[in-house]
Amino acid sequence: MTQMDAAAAARDLFVELTGSAPVGHWSAPGRVNLIGEHTDYNDGFVLPFAIEHRTHVQLGLREDGRIRVVSTFDPVPVEVALDQLDALFPEGRDDVPEWSTYPLGVAWALLAASGRDAASVTGVDIAIASDVPVGAGLSSSAAIEGATASALNDVWELGLDRVALAKVGRVAENEAVGAPTGIMDQMASMLGERDAAIFLDCRTLDTTVVDLGFAAAGLELLVMDTNVKHSHSTGGYRERRASCELGASVMGVPALRDVRVEDLEEARTKTDDVTFRRMRHVVTEDQRVLDTVRTLGEQGPRAIGELLLASHASMRDDFEISVPELDTAVEAAMAAGAIGARMTGGGFGGAAIALVDVDRIDAVSDAVRRAFADAGFAAPTIFTVTPSAGAHRDA
């Protein structure tokens, strides 16, 4: 589905649901994380950028104090009284379809963040369509959260800024959906800018816009979606987060952000092997993010390839969140001439990325497809992405 198709699909779904036109159209992007994986919930550093693939929300008002959501994911509407959202989240989340916990959770978290009660805002109908691939590590969830939060913030006249809306998205994902993610995805989706990445300090939420320089260097970023689906609310993600929290506790610091690379030898003596390797990934990944930002500024994007590869190796060997399909994508892309490559996203499936010369895109794509076929894997979905603008009102 193209972006234009997704916007039209959301509008058509809204008209089918209500028999009337929406009052507005909002959208928010997915994101690619260039580097900095599993560092966000450790108060560390990340370097994501928003992509052109977006989730679209068409919204209308209703007068009965209820919220009704419908999506191309599941055309059966889900309807809840706004004053019942507190009863639904978090304990009653299983009473509604999982996809609906994202927009409904945003409404719940928005009311709490703004200090408003349900009686003070109008009911809404919301139709959702997206061209962000689901399960590919491109944060389709943050795109839903960002589009919904932007729409409700406007029509309810809450006046929250973009950082506050990103926090709302994180609360919705952590507490309403039950996925223990950090805030990187929501910040990237809300704050993205064209032709740039967002360098984010996940402790302070300070951001710096970093010029990527891909176009000037004749490079594009290739996404290689393995089509191996994953879910952040399942055990592997939780186990790794718990390991990180244990490691920080053993080291006597608030978060692994406070452990330096030179502290790792001490950490090795204080923890079991698995916990140590989880810690080592996060600590060295934080340093790789800082090194990437510096290298982009001093030498440009052609100099970051080794950092991308080191990131992948760390996720594969220390954090153990890669899968054979992701490793194959990275190895085949590099063998075909990519500048650098790594898996991106939470792991256990999803996508890998490769930084590739424009004139090598077809050759690298073909090499990855051949490698998957030779390994007996299902065919990957391969496409380029462009750093793009964050959440906004479209109409």
Residues labelled as active-site residues:
185
| Inter-CA distances, 175 with 143, 162, 188, 301, 320, Å | 17, 20, 20, 37, 26
Residue 344 half-sphere exposure toward CB, CA atoms < 13 A: 29
Measured CA to CA, the distance from residue 131 to residue 3 in angstroms comes to: 6
Residue 326 half-sphere exposure toward CB, CA atoms < 13 A: 29
Residue type, 377: F
From the list 362, 356, 343, 341, the residue with the least C-alpha distance to 220 is: 356
From the list 116, 114, 126, the residue with the least C-alpha distance to 83 is: 116
Say which DSSP state 387 is in.
-
| Inter-CA distances, 195 with 138, 338, 353, 386, Å | 17, 20, 17, 7
From the list 275, 164, 176, the residue with the least C-alpha distance to 233 is: 176
Measured CA to CA, the distance from residue 212 to residue 387 in angstroms comes to: 9
Measured CA to CA, the distance from residue 25 to residue 370 in angstroms comes to: 41
Measured CA to CA, the distance from residue 142 to residue 146 in angstroms comes to: 6
CA dihedral 147, 150, 152, 155 (to 10 degrees): -130
